[in-house]
């Protein structure tokens, strides 16, 4: 029996990060409940990527706390949160071997790995690409494979760092369809994005960061219709934010 204990809610408190004498993240705090798509938005250097990396455990905050309902978001030895990067990291192997490698790394048995890999490729219509060398696939195919690879690990929460910023509109749409499918399955998505159209299409909730601080935390429609702060109003209007 798989342990179905939820790692949510996630409670982020006072997240602070300093490097080279500069405070890059300053007391960011929010709670994340199950389900839906939360978008992290804000100008370059506002701390979106840092926040994602700290939530996922890739970086340690200088101060503050990332608290999962279960320690480190690990249930029964399996990490229940995964991450997809802006530039997909593809191993120098076939698409299929990329998925199998990730599943082996997290400690699944061989038969589980094979079953989940087949399921992931089928789920996202990538069975035809299974034997292709991953690094020779197009940017869009690589990002879709990265998401399929993350999905195969059955995460409860998926972090995505600007997953479509390097893709053309067609590939972006395919990735967005995948993300909507994940959302419909009940995977909780947290994504950084610079694409405001994408945020409106996908997100239920917006966290607006500026200069390392969390400025607004609002439902998407409310954020875009009636931003509460001057910074958010300027950002939404497409102005430069200071």
Nearest distance in Å: CB 88, other proteins = 9
Among 91, 119, 130, 234, the residue binding other proteins under the rule CB under 8 A is 91
- CB-wise, 87 or 194, nearer to other proteins? 87
**79 is an interface residue for other proteins by CB under 8 A:** yes
Looking at the DSSP bridge assignments, the partners of residue 159 are: 83, 190
* Alpha-carbon dihedral sign for residues 152, 31, 56, 46: positive
Stretch that binds other proteins, among 32-40, 75-83, 199-207, 222-230 (CB under 8 A): 75-83
Q: How many residues bind other proteins (CB under 8 A)?
A: 20
Among 23, 34, 101, 123, the residue binding other proteins under the rule CB under 8 A is 101
**144 is an interface residue for other proteins by CB under 8 A:** no
Residues 38-57 touching other proteins, rule: CB under 8 A, are 53, 56
Nearest distance in Å: CB 165, other proteins = 16
**71 is an interface residue for other proteins by CB under 8 A:** no
Nearest distance in Å: CB 70, other proteins = 16
**110 is an interface residue for other proteins by CB under 8 A:** no
Residues 3-22 touching other proteins, rule: CB under 8 A, are none
- CB-wise, 164 or 210, nearer to other proteins? 164
**190 is an interface residue for other proteins by CB under 8 A:** no
**24 is an interface residue for other proteins by CB under 8 A:** no
Tell whether omega for the bond before 9 is within 30 degrees of 0, i.e. cis: yes
By residue count, the chain amounts to 242
Nearest distance in Å: CB 152, other proteins = 12
């Amino acid at each position: 029996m798989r342990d179905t204990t939820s790692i949510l809610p996630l409670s982020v408190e006072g997240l602070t990060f300093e490097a080279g004498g500069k405070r890059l993240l300053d007391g960011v705090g929010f709670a994340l409940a199950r389900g839906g798509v939360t978008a992290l938005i804000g100008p370059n250097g506002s701390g979106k990527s840092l926040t994602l990396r700290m939530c996922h455990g890739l970086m340690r905050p200088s101060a503050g706390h990332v608290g999962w309902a279960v320690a480190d978001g690990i249930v029964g030895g399996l990490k229940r949160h995964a991450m997809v990067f802006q530039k997909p990291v593809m191993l120098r192997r076939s698409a299929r071997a990329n998925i199998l490698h990730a599943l082996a790394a997290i400690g699944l048995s061989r038969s589980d790995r094979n079953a989940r890999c087949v399921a992931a490729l089928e789920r996202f219509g990538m069975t035809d690409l299974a034997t292709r060398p991953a690094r020779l696939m197009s940017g869009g195919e690589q990002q879709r494979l990265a998401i399929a690879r993350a999905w195969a690990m059955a995460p409860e929460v998926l972090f995505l760092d600007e997953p479509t910023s390097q893709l053309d509109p067609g590939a972006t749409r395919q990735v967005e369809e995948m993300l909507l499918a994940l959302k419909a399955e009940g995977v909780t998505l947290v994504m950084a994005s610079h694409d405001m159209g994408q945020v409106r299409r996908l997100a239920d909730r917006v966290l607006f960061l500026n200069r390392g601080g969390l400025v607004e935390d609002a439902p998407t429609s409310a954020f875009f219709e009636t931003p509460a702060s001057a910074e958010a109003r300027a950002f939404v209007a497409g102005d430069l934010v200071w």
